[in-house]
Structure 1
């Protein structure tokens, strides 16, 4: 499945969450990641994220069966240009 993930984490824990998300997804902008995950990978990511998070922290995950069902438009500077062309 194709996933877009964003988080709002206290700055004391933001480094840990950044490292965790980069293990599973591609960083595209501050606190925003995207990529393909299996159900098992997503469950593992959420479980590990819950271990980092505290009461005021949040994680938002958008899921789609396939990236082609989403239209992505970047207005302004694209922070991390992912080159999927082989």
Structure 2
């Protein structure tokens, strides 16, 4: 399935840990957004790792699951950011 995950993390240490976990599973497309293809099992594993880090009283994680990615059309206004370009 295709997922889009957005987050709002209030603490920088937790933010960096969550970002590091998400980088293992998905592509970083915007500052607080990751997206990509992932199995249900891998998504559950990813969410379990994140749940062990976030403070559920302060932080939020939004997961948008798309069962059929053919139903998504992505349009970009302005420049397309790709944080993967920053890696050698």
RMSD of aligned residue pairs (Cα, Å): 1.4
Unpaired stretches in structure 2, ≥5 consecutive residues = none
Q: Which residue of structure 1 lines up, in the alignment, with residue 69 of structure 2?
A: 67
Aligned pairs, number: 82
Unpaired stretches in structure 1, ≥5 consecutive residues = none
Moved more, 11-20 or 73-82: 73-82
Distance of 1:58 and 1:81 partners within structure 2: 22
Q: TM-score, normalised by structure 2?
A: 0.86
Distance of 2:22 and 2:68 partners within structure 1: 19
Q: Which residue of structure 1 lines up, in the alignment, with residue 4 of structure 2?
A: 4
Q: TM-score, normalised by structure 1?
A: 0.88
Q: Which residue of structure 2 lines up, in the alignment, with residue 42 of structure 1?
A: 43
Distance of 1:16 and 1:71 partners within structure 2: 30
Moved over 3 A (4+): none
Give 1:12 shift.
Answer: 2.8
CA contact (8 A) 2:28 2:83 kept: no
Distance of 1:73 and 1:61 partners within structure 2: 19
